[in-house]
Chain A
Amino acid sequence: DTEVTQTPKHLVMGMTNKKSLKCEQHMGHRAMYWYKQKAKKPPELMFVYSYEKLSINESVPSRFSPECPNSSLLNLHLHALQPEDSALYLCASSPFSGYEQYFGPGTRLTVT
């Protein structure tokens, strides 16, 4: 089973809202990733967790706050977002950091 699940599938939020994106994998992978993808562009790496510890933060604004409660779960907490943050947010996992990554279907976020 190479499935990564993400919820919700779609999210519309105002600039003052607080919301969270959730990602789950049950493949025993020890690395998990958040990406942001704008239309017609490749994914941009935001965060990498390895063994449940944040190992890479690609200078992402503090209005995005990642959390890895356990080895299967990855959350992305959103607060005070801007309209330009509207994008597809993709989660991925890999057996270990640096191995091939398996992506979830993404959450389509619209900030109004």
Chain B
Amino acid sequence: GNSVTQMEGPVTLSEEAFLTINCTYTATGYPSLFWYVQYPGEGLQLLLKATKADDKGSNKGFEATYRKETTSFHLEKGSVQVSDSAVYFCALRGYSTLTFGKGTMLLVSP
């Protein structure tokens, strides 16, 4: 079956530091891949997506590239802000449902 593995958190960074959150997946075929972000007390927001190999999704300074050869979709940001503190979920699209990773909490301090 489909599965998503994310790095354990929390990830603690200072403002303006570089961010990487690792995500690898197991799936049949070439699923669409997503990053969702959940701020405290809120629902999930779609952050970015990629639908085929070598696609790069980007939004709000965040980027992730769909790497078929390593089955990965790592999230990166060049300079994080305190407002980026949230839980980040990597997900893949199965036939009609999403499979989520366990989530990675990011804490950014001033």
Contacts and interface: CB of A to CB of B under 8 A. Distances in A.
Interface of A: 2, 4, 6, 31, 40-43, 45, 48, 50, 55-56, 90, 92, 97-106
Interface of B: 32, 34, 36, 42-46, 49, 89, 93-98, 100-103
Given A42-B101, A43-B100, 18 more contacts: A2-B46, A4-B43, A6-B43, A41-B102, A41-B103, A43-B44, A45-B97, A45-B98, A48-B97, A97-B96, A98-B95, A99-B93, A100-B46, A103-B43, A103-B44, A104-B43, A106-B42, A106-B43
A50 B96 contact: yes
Contacts of A43: 44, 100
A100 B32 contact: yes
A103 B94 CA distance: 17
A55 B94 CA distance: 14
Contacts of B93: 98-100
A31 to B, nearest CB: 8
Given A41-B103, A42-B102, A42-B103, A56 B42 contact: no
B48 to A, nearest CB: 10
Nearest to B89: A42
Nearest to B4: A42
A23 to B, nearest CB: 11
28 contacts: A4-B43, A6-B43, A31-B96, A40-B103, A41-B102, A42-B100, A43-B100, A45-B97, A45-B98, A48-B96, A55-B96, A56-B97, A90-B44, A98-B93, A98-B94, A98-B96, A100-B46, A100-B49, A101-B46, A101-B98, A102-B46, A103-B36, A103-B43, A103-B44, A103-B46, A104-B43, A105-B42, A106-B42
